Every structure is written in structure tokens, then in C-alpha cells.
Chains A and B, each alone.
Chain A
Amino acid sequence: MACTVEEKQRLQDIARELRLTIIDVTAWSGGAHVGGSLSIVELLTALYFKYLNVDPERPQWEDRDRFVLSKGHAAAALIPVLSKRGFIPEEELKTFNHFGSPFAMHPDSNKVTGCDASTGSLGHGLSIAAGMGLAARYLKKDYKTVCLMGDGECCEGSVWEAAMSIANFKLTNVITIVDRNRLMIDGFTEDVMALEPFAEKWHSFGFDVIEIDGHDFEQVCSALEKGWNATEKPVFILANTIKGKGVDFMENNVVWHYASADSALCEKAKASILNL
């Protein structure tokens, strides 16, 4: 088993905390991409609290594992997880998106401690991850690079250019994850620009495709474990998720892609999370 009962409980507790902080950040910031932040909570929690070999004392440590949040608009999830992992004092999250704050709607790696790539423009991250993977190989380093993308993001042609290169160079040190919450901004992916058959696309591009429930820690951990141990083919994790996961009235509803939150909404959202 990739994840023991106790460990699962530990990760679930962190995930719940993280969801509550995402709601706080949505309020503090005056508005954030809340839906797509809530859908990646289990993925980020498993990565930062079990798999990624990173060290808050040495954020630039050259042997650290790399993480690229290609769907950079979900900074409202990334920055809180970096904080919980010890890279950023929790108090500072209150400045999120304020004028002059290091934390903005999209993460800037020159300003955010522990953030490995500035993202926000969709379709850059997987290429950046490929470059990190090639660099690791050339520099004879063992670190892994994990890239997390949105499903809508996969409309970008550049994603497929990156995919081709990862397969071509057999970059088994790069783990590709897509947050398949089935929503983009203008609607469901299958209505706006159909991605299916999605798993088959990645398979045909040369990836070992692992399809999971992205909110189930056992499945998340077992997929990441396979990714970490890949030797033949690069691993692609198709994480089926729910946009807005954990807040009942936000789940699977396109209007919560981006939202602001007053205190009443915050309370309602938090009550829902605590009920989960």
C-alpha cells in the first residue's frame, strides 16, 4: 500500500487545513481562482507532505525535487501549501494580492520562496519541466520534476510539443499530472473544446497513463509512487477531480472559477469544508 491508514489520516487533516486557508486567501486577496485551487488540494498535499524532497531551510538547494504549477492561476493553493510546508510565514498570506505583496494572482518565482517557476500564461509549464528534466540528466542529478496542468490548459498546442519532447527524450524523471476537473472558464471542456479521448491521447504520445481519483490519497500516492519509480516510460497521471471540491455549493460549477468572498460566504464555505 502506497499510503498507510495513519498516513492517510495525516494527509487528510492537512488537506482540510489547506482548503480552509484557500478560502481565507480568497477573502484576503479580494478575489482568487478558488475552484481550480480546491480541485488540486490532495495532489499538492501528497506532493509537498510525502513525495517532494524539498527543504524550507534551503529553498534553492540544487538537488531538490522541482514542482511546476503550470496552471499558475491556482497560486491560491500553491502559496498556502508552501506556507504550510514551512517556506513562507503563515502571517504573510494575509497580504495575498495586495499591492507590493510577493504573492499575486499568479506565482512569481523571483518573489515566492519555494516556487520553482513563474507561471500564469497557460501552456508553459510542461516545457519548463522538460527542460528541468533534461538539465537533471545532463548534470547527473537524481531530482524529479513534477508538473501539474489544468485540463483546459491542454488545449494549448505547446502542451503537446512538450509531451512529444518528454517522450522523445524518455524523461522518466518528469512526472506529468493533469487536474481533470472537466471545467475551463467558458464551460465544460467537452463543450468548449473536446479533449476526449484524453487518456488515449497521452498514451499515444508515449506516456504510461495512470488514471486516478485525484481526491483519494491512496490512489494519488500509488500513482506518484509509480511516477517516482518510472524507468521505461514517463508517467502521466490523469487525476479526475472536482472543481471547487470540498465546498458543496462551488463543486462542479463554472461560476466559481474566479471569485471573491465576503465573511458570510467564507463561513458558509468553511462550514462545508468542515463537514466533508
Chain B
Amino acid sequence: MGEPKSLRVAYGEALVKVGEHNDKVVVLDADLSHATMTCLFAEKYPERFFNMGIAEQNLICAAAGMAYSGLTPFISTFALFGAGRAYEQIRNSISYTNADVKLGLSHSGLSVGEDGGSHQAVEDIALMRVLPGMTILVPCDPIEMEKAVFASLDIKGPVYIRVARPVCSCITKDNDPFIPGKPNVMREGTDIAIFATGLMVSEALEAADILKANGISAAVLNFHTIKPFDSEAALNWAKKTGAIITVEEHSIIGGLGSAAAEAIAEISNLRFDRIGIQDRFGQSGKPADLFQRYGLTAKDIAQRCTMLLSKGYSQSWL
């Protein structure tokens, strides 16, 4: 079992390791190296670390230029300022050119906490999903974070790695497979399948426990890759259980829930629901309070699963 750790620390440590293996790996940050934890790489490889100052647009295009010149840049800042502020730079200089740039953007989702709505990226996955050729990885624990960083190196072209701030326990094992594009079945089940991503995977597992105690058999799938989305797996599980619920620390628009809906819309009589942020902004607060307020706890998930499975279910209460 790995020790509990913040995903951003796991990210920073993984960068140091890939740096050891590959001297073409360079790291860029925008005055947040102690928050994104790229400072660990900066300490070890100062000659390969570039602090671009508080200038995200320059950060992205400079990384593109390095990639065009044979390097493999990992860039970091807060998800909102990378994916949001510099969106068009990512679109044209990185995605459009299929540049080999890895975007390890931190402080995603509500779990940013007290920094509040202006800093909580709840739309970053949506922004990245519409970019052709972009791979989107959302690791669920420190162990998966390291695997994601290494896996991103094997992918030629842009990869978005969604990094979160809070400390979290390890729910996967070192020898679990991590194949980009292939969700991991964390729990088998027959009544409903919960598709979860990132920090929501552990909540989903806990929800499955609650459901089990109530006689409901819930499968839990860890969608660590949102793009390319494994439509086949989604379809299979939809057919197998007849009920799918998605859970993400992201807007219900454009993320995992949307990807799943697009994949399984053709199945008739499917019960389907999306848990996430209901088309609103985040706010300041402790992550646990926010998860509660926005209905993202294990209890909420279990409750929504039960409702979805109940007779005469209608979504009008949303």
C-alpha cells in the first residue's frame, strides 16, 4: 500500500523520476512551482526547469516551441489558468500541431478549497475533450499519478494530466495495470455500474459498500482516461447492468458524464444519471464541505444510485 499523499506531490515526484530516465524532459511553470510541486524537479534539474513567471500564454507557446525543437516539456500551473487562460494557445500551438507537450495542470476541481470559485477549474476536462488528439488522464490516487506521468511519455502528442490538491489515500496497487484508454474495474457488480474518475473513485467505492449493505450490487469503474473514451466498455457495462451513473469532480457538461452519454445514448431502457457539478461555479470552503454541498460524497452517490434504480424513476427532481 502506498502512503497517503497529495496528488500534486505525487506528480512532482513522478516528474523527478521521468527526468532521471529521459534527459529530453523539461519542466515549465508559471510562478506556482511550490503549489504544483514542480519545485522538486527544479531542485534536481535546474538547467531543465524554466519558470516563465505569471504568464500562462507564454508558458504554453514556449513549451510548444521546445517540443518543435525535440524536447518533451511538462508544463504546470493551476488548471484554470492553463486550460482556461491559455486555451487558444493550447488549441493552436499544441493540439492543432500535435506537439509533444504534457500538461500537468494542478488545483483542478472543487477540492482546491478556499481559493474559491475563481480558482476552481470545473470545466477543464470539457475544454480539453473537444481538442482532437488530446489525451486526458485523471489519476485517482498517488500510485496512479506516477503511472500516468510515465504513460504520458509513451504517448506521442499532447496529454492533459488532471492533478488535484488534497492529500488522498492509495486505493490502487503498484501492480494494477494502467493502460490509457482502458478503465479499470475496481469492483464487480450486477445491478448498476458507477463510472468514476479522479478523487471520485474512492467515493464511488465507498458508495458501493453502502449499496451492498442495502442489497444493491454496484460495479465501480475507474475511468482514469476520459479521452480516448472507452465507448465499448461503457456500452458493455450498460448492457450488463441496465443502469449507469457517472461521478466526477467536474461540470456534468462536457466531462465523463457527457462522454458516457454520447457512448450509450443508443441503448433503450437504460437508466442513466450524471453526478457532478450541476452547471454552476464552485465557491470557497473546505473540500469536504464543498463535496457535501455539491452532492459528491459517497452517501450522495449511493442515494442517487438507489433513486435511479427505484421504480418510476424520473429525473425531473434535478
Contact = CB atoms under 8 A, between A and B. Distances in A.
A229 interface: no
Interface in B55-102: 55-58, 80-81, 85
Contacts of B29: 186
Task: Classify the secondary structure of A's interface with B.
Answer: loop
Interface stretch (A60-68, A85-93, A150-158, A199-207): A150-158
Give the interface size bracket for A toward B.
20 to 34
A181 to B, nearest CB: 14
Contact of A72 (B118, B286, B290): B118
Contact of B32 (A100, A120, A186): A186
A212 interface: no
* Most central of B35, B52, B55, B293 by chain A CB within 10 Å: B55
B294 to A, nearest CB: 12
A184 B53 contact: yes
Contacts of A120: 115-116, 118-119
A192 B118 contact: no
Nearest to A150: B54
A248 interface: no
B184 interface: no
A119 B117 CA distance: 11
Nearest to B38: A186
B51 A30 contact: no
B43 interface: no
B118 A121 contact: yes
A124 to B, nearest CB: 10
Contact of B33 (A98, A157, A186): A186
Contact of A99 (B80, B81, B286): B286
A105 interface: yes
B283 A104 contact: yes
A152 B119 contact: no
A156 B118 CA distance: 17
Contacts of B51: 186, 192-193
A106 B119 contact: yes
B31 interface: yes
A156 B77 CA distance: 14
A155 B30 CA distance: 10
A66 to B, nearest CB: 19
A131 interface: no
A106 to B, nearest CB: 5
Contact of B54 (A29, A30, A119, A123): A123
A105 B284 contact: yes
A106 B116 contact: yes
A108 interface: yes
Interface string B33-46: 11100010000000
A122 interface: yes
A97 interface: yes
B114 interface: yes
Contacts of A119: 118
A231 interface: no
B285 A105 contact: no
Contacts of B188: none
Given A121-B85, A185-B35, A192-B31, A155 B80 contact: no
Contacts of B32: 185-186
Nearest to A121: B118
Contact of A106 (B58, B115, B286): B115
A129 to B, nearest CB: 18
A104 B115 CA distance: 7
A193 B85 CA distance: 19
B279 interface: no
Contacts of B54: 122-123, 152-153, 155-156, 184, 193
B115 A157 contact: no
Interface string A103-141: 011101000000000111111000000000000000000
B289 interface: yes
Interface string B253-291: 000000000000000000000000000000111100110
9 contacts: A99-B290, A121-B81, A152-B53, A153-B54, A155-B31, A184-B54, A185-B35, A186-B29, A193-B51
Interface of B: 29, 31-35, 39, 51-58, 80-81, 85, 114-119, 283-286, 289-290, 293
Interface of A: 29-31, 72, 97-101, 104-106, 108, 118-123, 152-153, 155-157, 184-186, 189, 192-193
* Top-4 shortest CB links A-B: A193-B53, A155-B53, A104-B284, A120-B118
Given A108-B117, A152-B31, A155-B52, 19 more contacts: A30-B114, A99-B283, A99-B293, A100-B285, A101-B284, A104-B284, A105-B114, A106-B116, A120-B118, A121-B85, A122-B54, A155-B54, A155-B55, A156-B56, A185-B32, A185-B34, A186-B33, A192-B51, A193-B51
